């Protein structure tokens, strides 16, 4: 049996939990089923109560207090603890069927997947042991396009997550409502399907010439991989959420295993009238 899931990842505050809530609400509207898993041991306010919550296993506060760590070290400790207690996660996800999309809301510390292989190992466990067909959706905040050097940094982190996680990956430019009026469609396209060469000249203008060679190397790296494109997301817009969900469905192969839905069951006793 297959299980389906999406890891919602990205830097702090980029709109992951809001996107998860929008997905849950949209999935409910379309009479599909989903399960919300909170993997952020510091998260407090939820629009939808998680069905599975890492805080039932360990909280960031406990980890920081007991080990005398700061917030980042505490978070890594929480995930190390989770990795040592994967049976907790296994039993929490035991009953998930192939008609349910599991939405994993991850913390915003991108070190967990760009620097240390914690989330990649978790993804391996989900796809291997628990037989999940899993995709990652990496959110980057649209306001990053206003500061081009931030945009490059964000694109590099998206690329790094893509390479580290080794699962089907969708990059999403979140909070598009914040920049829509400020850029023409043509300008936005430069960022959604990045042409680093063109954006580079803008970065050069704002940086000391002694860094130009470095800028060019970074851009060359993004160009060589040619892997990053962004979908647009406005979490308050249901059409936008539906569009992203369709990509997620394609990535995990959702539709291939779903039964076709017959809305009105035909009356089995009914027989076609025979023409005389
Ligand atoms: N304008 C706008 N604001 C948004 C959107 N999505 C999220 N936000 C706001 O961005 C802020 C952060 O959103 P969250 O969903 O908590 O972000 P997060 O990535 O889960 O944050 P962390 O879990 O702390 O990493 C909140 O104030 C949201 O209301 C959006 O599509 N448009
Ligand atoms: Mg969150």
Give the helix/strand (H/E) hosting 216.
helix 212-225
Nearest-CA residue for atom 2 of ligand 1: 175
**Which ligand has an atom closest to residue 233 CA?**
1
**Which ligand has an atom closest to residue 15 CA?**
1
Atom of ligand 1 nearest to the CA of 18: 15
Give the helix/strand (H/E) hosting 151.
helix 148-165
> Which one of 9, 10, 14, 15 would you pick to mutate in the ligand 1 pocket, going by the greatest count of ligand atoms within 8 A of its CB?
15
Give the domain 3-193+229-257 fold: Rossmann fold (3.40.50)
pLDDT digits (tens, 9 = 90+) for 156-209: 889 999 999 999 999 999 999 998 888 777 778 888 887 777 778 878 888 888
134 pairs with which residues across the strands?
Answer: 5
103 pairs with which residues across the strands?
Answer: 6, 36
Ligand 1 pocket: which residues have CB below 6 Å?
Answer: 12-18, 40, 108, 174-175, 177-178, 234-235
Helix, strand, or coil (residue 22) = helix
What is the C-alpha separation between 191 and 172, in angstroms, rounded?
Answer: 11
Q: What is the CA(105)–ligand 2 centre distance, in A? A: 7
Q: What is the CA(267)–ligand 1 centre distance, in A? A: 48
Helices 60-67 and 71-84 cross at an angle (nearest 10°) of: 100
Q: What is the pTM of this model?
A: 0.90
> Contact, 44 vs 17, CB < 8 A?
no
Helices (H) and strands (E) in the chain, counts: 12, 7
Which DSSP category does 124 fall into? H
ipTM of the complex: 0.99
Instruction: Enumerate the CATH 3.40.50.300 domain ranges in the chain, comma separated.
Output: 3-193+229-257
pLDDT digits (tens, 9 = 90+) for 44-91: 989 999 999 999 999 999 999 999 999 999 999 999 999 999 999 999
């Amino acid at each position: 049996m297959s299980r389906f899931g999406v890891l919602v990842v990205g830097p702090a505050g980029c709109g992951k939990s809001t996107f998860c809530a929008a997905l849950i609400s949209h999935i409910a509207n379309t009479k599909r089923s989903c399960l919300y898993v909170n993997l952020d041991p510091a998260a407090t306010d939820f629009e939808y109560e998680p069905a599975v919550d890492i805080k039932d296993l360990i909280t960031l506060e406990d980890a920081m207090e007991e080990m005398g760590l700061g917030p980042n070290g505490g978070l890594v400790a929480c995930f190390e603890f989770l990795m040592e207690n994967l049976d907790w996660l296994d039993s929490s996800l035991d009953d998930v069927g192939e008609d349910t999309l599991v939405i994993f809301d991850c913390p915003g510390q991108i070190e967990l997947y760009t620097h240390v292989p914690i989330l990649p190992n978790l993804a391996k466990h989900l796809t291997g042991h628990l037989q999940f067909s899993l995709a990652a959706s990496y959110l980057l905040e649209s306001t990053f396009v206003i500061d081009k050097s931030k945009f490059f940094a964000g694109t590099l982190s998206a690329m790094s997550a893509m390479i580290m996680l080794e699962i089907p990956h969708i990059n999403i430019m979140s909070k598009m409502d914040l920049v829509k009026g400020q850029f023409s469609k043509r300008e936005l396209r430069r960022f959604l399907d990045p042409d680093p060469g063109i954006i580079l000249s803008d970065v050069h203008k704002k940086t000391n010439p002694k860094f130009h060679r470095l800028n060019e190397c970074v851009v060359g790296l993004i160009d060589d991989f040619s892997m990053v494109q962004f979908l647009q997301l406005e979490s308050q817009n249901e059409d936008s959420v539906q569009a992203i969900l369709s990509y997620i469905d394609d990535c995990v192969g959702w539709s291939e295993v779903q039964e076709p839905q017959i809305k009105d069951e035909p009356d089995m006793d009914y027989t076609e009238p025979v023409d005389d």
